[in-house]
Amino acid sequence: MTKKSTETLVGLFVLLGIVALFFLALKAANLGNFSTEPTYTLYGRFDNIGGLKVRAPVRSAGVTVGRVTAITLDPKTFQGVVVMEIRRGIVFPKDSSAKILTAGLLGDQYIGLEPGGDERNYEPGATITQTQSALVLEQLIGRMIFDKAAEAGAGGGAKP
């Protein structure tokens, strides 16, 4: 192999590595989808959004049907308001519910939409009223420890 062909192969290898790092960075930032499909907006109100982030997927039956575009706090109700952009061709019945779920044990959080059976569908700009907040692992552990401490305190007298 000549020196020029070796340099060309090394250059191609470096270029391939840069392209791979670029796509890895897009995936890590959850920007891998450059979808330009038309969408409509739905809102959801949650008592606790946990670690949900903007650009998190919105899924139904495991299929990504949209993205979270904004998360704000309602100053009157002190609830988290999640703005979701849903693909235009996918409509959900008015009695559908939204849950904040976790991918895996400690994975990223996403919105799970569970369709209902109503004949009427959500209109663009509607608010999903049936929501379930995020399950926060720290709260569960704290509750479990508190319950165990209460059990130990209730039966914790000295035996005669």
Model confidence pLDDT, tens digit, residues 77-132: 999 999 999 999 899 999 999 999 888 766 788 999 999 888 999 999 999 988 98
Does residue 47 share a domain with residue 5?
Answer: no
Does residue 114 share a domain with residue 73?
Answer: yes
Is 70 exceeded by the pLDDT of residue 33?
A: no
Predicted confidence at residue 140, as pLDDT, reads 75
Is 80 exceeded by the pLDDT of residue 53?
A: yes
Predicted confidence at residue 1, as pLDDT, reads 66
- If one counts the domains in the chain, the total is 2
Predicted confidence at residue 38, as pLDDT, reads 87
Of the candidates 130, 44, 41, the one whose C-alpha atom is nearest the C-alpha of residue 79 is 44
Query: Per the domain annotation, does 63 fall within a domain?
Result: yes
Does residue 68 share a domain with residue 118?
Answer: yes
**Confidence at 5, pLDDT banded by 50, 70, 90:** confident
User: What is the residue range of 9's domain?
Assistant: 1-32
Query: Per the domain annotation, does 144 fall within a domain?
Result: no
Predicted confidence at residue 156, as pLDDT, reads 53
Does residue 45 share a domain with residue 77?
Answer: yes
Q: What is the dihedral of CA 148, 152, 154, 160, to 10 degrees?
A: 160
Does residue 105 share a domain with residue 71?
Answer: yes
Residue 59 sits at the vertex; the CA angle it makes with 57 and 60, to the nearest 5 degrees, is 170
Does residue 47 share a domain with residue 19?
Answer: no
Predicted confidence at residue 24, as pLDDT, reads 79
Does residue 81 share a domain with residue 13?
Answer: no
Does residue 74 share a domain with residue 27?
Answer: no
Instruction: Encode 61-73: b = buried (16+ Cβ within 10 Å), e = exposed.
Output: eeeebbbbeebee
CA-CA distance, 154 to 132, in Å (whole number)? 33
Q: Flag the least confident range among 4-8, 15-19, 44-48, 154-158.
A: 154-158
Does residue 79 share a domain with residue 45?
Answer: yes
Does residue 105 share a domain with residue 72?
Answer: yes
**Confidence at 148, pLDDT banded by 50, 70, 90:** confident
Query: Per the domain annotation, does 25 fall within a domain?
Result: yes
Query: Per the domain annotation, does 143 fall within a domain?
Result: no
Query: Per the domain annotation, does 154 fall within a domain?
Result: no
Cross-strand pairs, 37: none
Query: Per the domain annotation, does 6 fall within a domain?
Result: yes
| 116 contacts 62 by C-beta, under 8 angstroms | no
- To the nearest whole number, what is the mean pLDDT of the chain? 85
Of the candidates 110, 125, 31, 29, the one whose C-alpha atom is nearest the C-alpha of residue 65 is 110
pTM of the model: 0.67
Does residue 22 share a domain with residue 2?
Answer: yes
Identify the residue whose tokens are 């903007």: 54
